[in-house]
Amino acid sequence: MKRAIVIYDTKFGNTEKIARALACGMEKQGVKVDCVKADEVDVDKLVEYDFLVIGGPTHAFGVSKPMKAFLEKLRSVDIKGKKAFAFDTKYKSWLAGSAGKGIEKTLKGLGMSIVKPHSSAIIKGSEGPLEEGMEEMFERIGGEVQN
C-alpha cells in the first residue's frame, strides 16, 4: 500500500482543516496517510513515505517561520525523487503572495517530483473562516494527486 504524509503548519487552525481534507481524499483512494504538524515531524522517518504533501499559511507574502524551519530540516534527509505537492491558505487578492509557491520551489530544489502545481485555499479573514467549499475542494484534490 502506498504511504503518504500530509505536513502542515497552522496558527489559527484553517490550514490544518485543509491538511485533513487532503488526507481524507487520499485515504478514500486507498492510500495510508499520516497527517502531522510540521514541528512534530520526525524528518528521519520521511524516507518511509512515497508521497509528501506540505502546506502552510501565507505569512508576509510567503512561507511562515515554522514552515521555513521545517523545510530547512529537510536538507538533512534523502527524499530526492519522492512525489510531492504543496498547498497554502491565503487571501484571495493577487497581492497576497503564496506560501505554497515557496514550499514548492524548495521541494523542487530538493529533487522531489512535483505531481501538481501548488494550490491555495482561500480564507475570508486572517483567523478564518475558509471560503465555502474549500475543504470539499481539497478533499477532491487529495483524491486526484495520489495517482
Ligand X SMILES: Cc1cc2nc3c(=O)[nH]c(=O)nc-3n(C[C@H](O)[C@H](O)[C@H](O)COP(=O)(O)O)c2cc1C
DSSP H helices in 1-147: 14-27, 65-73, 99-109, 134-145
CA distances from 93 to 63, 90, 98, 104, 123 (A): 17, 8, 10, 20, 10
Residue window 35-74: x/- pattern of binding to ligand X, with contact defined by CB under 6 A: ----------------------xxxxx-------------
Q: Which three cell numbers stand for residue 90?
A: 491565503
Looking at 11, 37, 105, 140, which residue binds ligand X (CB under 6 A)?
Answer: 11
Under DSSP, is residue 15 helix (H, G, I), strand (E, B) or coil? helix
Is residue 15 within the footprint of ligand X (CB under 6 A)? yes
Subset of 73-102 contacting ligand X (CB under 6 A): 89-91, 96-97
- Based on the shown chain and the rule CB under 6 A, indicate whether residue 119 belongs to the binding site for ligand X: no
Query: Which letter, b or e, does each residue of 3-36 get, where b requires 16 or more Cβ atoms within 10 Å of its Cβ?
Result: ebbbbbbbeeebbbbbbbbbbbbbbeeebebebe
Cβ proximity to ligand X: between 8 and 83 the closer is: 8
**Least Å from the CB of residue 85 to ligand X:** 17
- Among 12, 24, 36, 114, interactor with ligand X by CB under 6 A: 12
Provide the binding-site residues for ligand X, judged by CB under 6 A: 10-15, 57-61, 89-91, 96-97, 123, 126, 128
